[in-house]
Chain A
């Protein structure tokens, strides 16, 4: 089975929750998507359980970027992941 290795960068409150700046993730699913990665993060890190996905959508309190590009919060299952990808989990941009 092929595996996909990716780096997940954490910012803001998620970083304080996990107390890490990044997480290395290995996905063994075939054709993994951003939704798979987020579900996996929730499973592996209890601090993130329920903090990323709700009914398959990305929660409104988190913004997910794949290689710096915004992931549609309504359809994370449509965004495929490739080896070497970086996911950034940031607070949504408010203020400024």
Chain B
């Protein structure tokens, strides 16, 4: 193969946390062509370095920060980064993405991926610049929240050199190994949260409090500049038109529309439509009218979907607005419509470093268990649906692992395993990860998408967007293929590290010629649209391979929880919908056949060979 395209910085940086030594690995052109970057690179690193039997908290796990080929080019919003690791929630491969300015700064160092190996002997920070990385002891940061940590590390690093430093940090929850602890980046203008899967807990287990990157001098060069610029310009208007709602309200604008459809989980998903006044109280419209103070944005994005809110009575100024998924997890699922307290709980989660979806759904699960007498009365303080103050208190207790918080910190699946068997009926998630807001009962594409996803209950494997527009929401016809191809789309997007909102809004909700044209102009590779989809398919199969080797992906684990399989949505516009076991089994059989996997859900040797993964599979 020819040379590595000049959009790539060219190297992967390996950091041994124990010794502080670093090693630079050259990126092979064929690896870039096969896996692009972002989650493709992250999956390759995890597959190569993490033994299949290593516990996620074992030093043998790695944390990979990876960016995509078009990051820091004019291609809109390729400003995201990927954190790849083996998840303490699913025990499988996980990639969690985040925006802001850190990923773009990483790109300028020339390191497309930074791989943290081992465990630091004491609480440390890792600072990366274009020369390599320094691991420094940082005991003084112990217990600081994510924002304080970002600030402290940035000040410390910037005092040593003039160039800008960008930081991503774990909070107390990460230090305490709350299994769904996240990483938070406080950028110059907006926050970026690698929310799902427990990246903060894995970093905490490695004794790393924060990772910083100092801006470097690498500038990606696209192969066909004129074509690339024209393509990018031509998508600006459609992008701005399609994302008007996000510009106005951020994702909180989804609360009312999804609730109107009767597909928004309420009271631990016992029903799927909140009273309209309830939805109104926590909606994007209300937030904008009463609490939003400014718009915020990631690098190179005109959409500005980020918002800051201020709530005087809660002592909150310029806090991050709760996203739609968080409003589901911490408001409708809790039957709490006190939006000020909901915002407080969200702000606490951001500061303490916890995924609002997994935490919220775990609390809602515990609340339903308590309602049914499955949790001892002594442990049930704050476990009543509707208890807004309790919600805030539980956020604090979970991060500190105090009282019931210690059990909530394990996530709903592990908590269920410690309770009477009946508790399993109330789970709302797949493969150990709690579902995001998009209904596994009311959207058929999500039923099969969640059941087969690499990440479990993630809405960034199979996307819900087209389903809300009427495609594969209520039919199983062709839905297995739809879900699989949507997974290719997201794997491609996460390897380009393009913001999903921008790609769906401006470039298309499926892999199409536009993506091919842009990638071709950026890299100079000769590509067909099928080639581009094959990249997504290859990455998805590599992720599956990791999970198969780890023993967490097969026919038995490709399933949905009891309520989704056996209890139809009780009322509202989507009443009667669910995914009965026969329906799931039929979709799974179709899905495996489409993918070229065997009856147990494992990629066959022929499939791996056709995707060029046979050597990796060994």
Decide whether A and B are members of one complex.
Answer: yes
Most buried by B among A15, A16, A63, A96: A96
In the complex, 30 of the A-B residue pairs with CB atoms within 8 angstroms, ordered by the A residue number, are A9-B260, A9-B276, A11-B257, A12-B248, A12-B249, A12-B257, A12-B285, A60-B241, A61-B241, A63-B468, A65-B261, A67-B573, A68-B260, A68-B262, A68-B573, A68-B574, A90-B260, A91-B244, A91-B253, A92-B242, A93-B464, A94-B505, A95-B246, A95-B251, A95-B254, A95-B324, A96-B436, A96-B438, A96-B464, A96-B465
Which residues of A are interface residues toward B (Cβ below 8 A)?
Answer: 9, 11-13, 15-16, 60-61, 63, 65, 67-70, 72, 88, 90-96
Please name all residues of chain A whose beta carbon is closer than 8 Å to the beta carbon of B244 when the two chains form the complex.
13, 61, 91
B132 touches A (CB below 8 Å): no
> Which chain B residues in 219-258 approach chain A with CB under 8 Å?
241-246, 248-251, 253-254, 256-258
| Contact between chains at B305 and A90 (CB < 8 Å) | no
CB pair B258–A93 under 8 Å, yes or no, is yes
Find chain B residues with CB under 8 A from A67 CB. 573
Distance in angstroms between the alpha carbons of A15 and B285 in the assembled complex: 9
Number of A-B contacts (CB under 8 A): 97
- Nearest CB in chain B to that of A11: its residue: B256
Asked if B437 is at the interface of the complex by the 8 Å CB criterion, the answer is: yes
Instruction: Across the interface, name the chain B residue whose C-beta is closest to A63.
Output: B257
Q: Which residues of B contact A15 (CB under 8 A)?
A: 285
The 10 closest A-B pairs by CB, nearest first: A68-B573, A91-B245, A90-B257, A93-B468, A88-B260, A95-B501, A95-B251, A11-B256, A96-B324, A95-B246
Which residues from chain A contact B469 at a C-beta distance below 8 Å?
63, 70, 92-93
Residues of B whose CB lies within 8 Å of any CB of A are 241-246, 248-251, 253-254, 256-258, 260-262, 273, 276, 284-285, 305, 323-325, 436-438, 459, 464-465, 468-470, 473, 500-501, 504-505, 572-574
| Chain A residues within 8 Å of B260, by CB | 9, 11, 65, 68, 88, 90
Chain B, interface SS category: helix
Closest CB of chain B to A85's CB: distance in Å?
12
CA of A72 to CA of B273, assembled, Å: 22
Report the nearest A residue to B509, measured CB to CB. A94
Min distance, Cβ B2 to any Cβ of chain A, angstroms: 38
Determine if B246 and A93 form an interchain contact, defined as CB atoms under 8 angstroms apart: no
Whole-angstrom distance between the Cβ of B97 and the nearest chain A Cβ: 14
